[in-house]
Amino acid sequence: MERADAAPADRSDAAPAERSDAPPARLDVLRSIDQLPPGSWERLAPAGDPMWTRNVFRALERSRVGPAGYAYLTVRRGAETVAVLPLCLFPDLRLDRIVGPHERRLLAPLRRLAPRLLRVPMLFCGHLLGQGHVLAAEPLDGPTGRLLVTAVLDFARRERLGTVVFKDFAGPDLAPLRAPLTEAGFFLAPSLPDTELALPTDSFEQYLAALPAKPRRNARAKIRRFGSRPDLRIEVLAAFDHLLPQLLALYGQVMDRADQTLDVLDHAFLAALAADPLSRLVACFEGERLVGFLLCLFTARPGAGGTESAGGEGGAGDTGGTGNTGGADGIVPGATGARIGLDYRLAHDAALYHNLHYAAVRLAMDTGCRHIRFAQTAYLPKVEMGCALIEQWHAMTHVRPLPRAVLRRLLPPALAAARAQALDPPGGSTGPAPRPRTEERPPHAAR
């Protein structure tokens, strides 16, 4: 455990009760999630978000998906942990892996002539694979927020990580930190939105019926297209460690086509999640060969499993209702379709992408979930499936003034252009780009 070298906080804007009664905040840096006191992570993590379970972060620590290391900045008052901010350490991040295709083409000559110049040390704060949060039972007050931001910058300097990013924070999570971040020289830039599908409580057919007319017709056509292939079937698997080599091969096909590769899942990460009783693999087989999958994570034990066979308007295994209402022991049922793999040899003709997602929707409904989240990719089909887009932001800075000024000038327009292209790719739609949910936007976020 390391003591964070945060400067003393100005407590003039703290509530009187905090000044007189609350013990002073102490900040520590832990190098593993298992160094946190038992139960503290679970008490502070966002309810209903399976990406924020302890098992997911353990899996990250035990794998090599991108960062060279992880840390957890903790805020304690007395014996109680009141806030946790996960940190991802990239001492040698390749810039050409995190920019869009246009920027990557511009960087190609530099990559050939001086590849070392494209490697930068960066510290990401939040979640490498999901929406960013500072885990806390209640929003941080101003003094504690300043302590946290100061401690992050001090840690970055000690680790020689010049660029610091609070990654993918939605408006409500960013709002309590906005003043401390601005005072410390951070600036905001739009990141890719999160995707969330609200689920009905009745049946999959109710979900389809609630879609607008054209998306509803398209969904039924894709379900029929899959159902016309008797050689294909979809199963929901609780045990899938024997399929890991095939998962990696199909996932590799997707990543070969990805614009950005900040993280690339490996065998160790997938093996750790395969051992998690709250994970399920929505798997598509052609005979005995795996040709597609969607890895789904849950906060409550998933509902109907076993074989789901394709056929008819209901497609893969429509049960007609939600057999499990979830919520046992106070757990909020939540679901995430975390990562996908596809055999592009038949992905289009069989509408694999959509039918894997439809099967995940059914599984989430059977588990009693009121929503399911998906990855920050392929926005047009997700919006057609009914997903809402949740605005997210990066807060960024550099520990030195000159690079900070360069980043402030160059990064916001570059990220905004990449975001616009992701939401409305060339040739991807004849209509307007999908509109994100604006209620998540923090005050003055465009400045």
Helix axes 267-274, 244-256, angle to 10 degrees: 130
pLDDT of residue 315: 43
For strands 371-374 and 335-342, give the pairing.
Answer: parallel
Query: What's the pLDDT score for residue 165?
Result: 96
Specify the pLDDT at position 414: 79
**Which strands make up the sheet holding 194-198, listed edge to edge?**
306-308, 232-237, 279-286, 289-298, 335-342, 371-374, 194-198, 388-390
CB within 8 A of 290, min separation 6: which ones?
243, 246, 247, 250, 283, 284
> What pLDDT is recorded for position 99?
66
pLDDT at 318: 39
157 in Cβ contact with 199 (< 8 Å):
no
336: β partners: 297, 373
Give the DSSP letter string of 149-210: HHHHHHHHHHTT--EEEEEEE-HHHHGGGHHHHHHTT-EEEE-PPEEEEE--SS-HHHHHHH
**What tens digit of pLDDT does each residue of 237-248 get?**
999 999 999 999
CB proximity list for 228: less than 8 A, separation 6 or greater: none
Query: What is the pLDDT averaged over residues 359-363?
Result: 96
pLDDT single digits (tens) 365-421: 999 999 999 988 889 999 999 999 999 999 999 999 998 998 888 888 878 887 888
DSSP 8-state assignment for residue 444: T
pLDDT band at 258 (very low <50, low <70, confident <90, very high): confident
Strand partners, 73: 29, 85
**What CA–CA distance (Å, rounded) separates 118 from 409?**
18
Listed residue (317, 48, 9) closest to 199, CA to CA = 48
What's the CA angle centered on 167, arms 371 and 412, to 5 degrees?
115
Q: Is the pLDDT of residue 326 over 60?
A: no
265-303, pLDDT tens digit by residue?
999 999 999 999 999 999 999 999 999 999 999 998 886
What is the biggest distance separating any 2 CA atoms in the chain, rounded to whole angstroms?
71
Q: What local confidence, expressed as pLDDT, does residue 103 receive?
A: 65
Does the structure show a pLDDT above 60 at 15? no
pLDDT at 59: 96
Concatenating the DSSP letter of every residue in 11-22 gives -TTS-HHHHHTS
Specify the pLDDT at position 76.
Answer: 94
pLDDT score for 432: 41
DSSP code, position 132 = B
- Joined tokens for residue 66: 């991108």
Helix (H) or strand (E) holding 72, with range, is: strand 69-77
Pairing mode of beta strands 135-136, 25-30 = unpaired
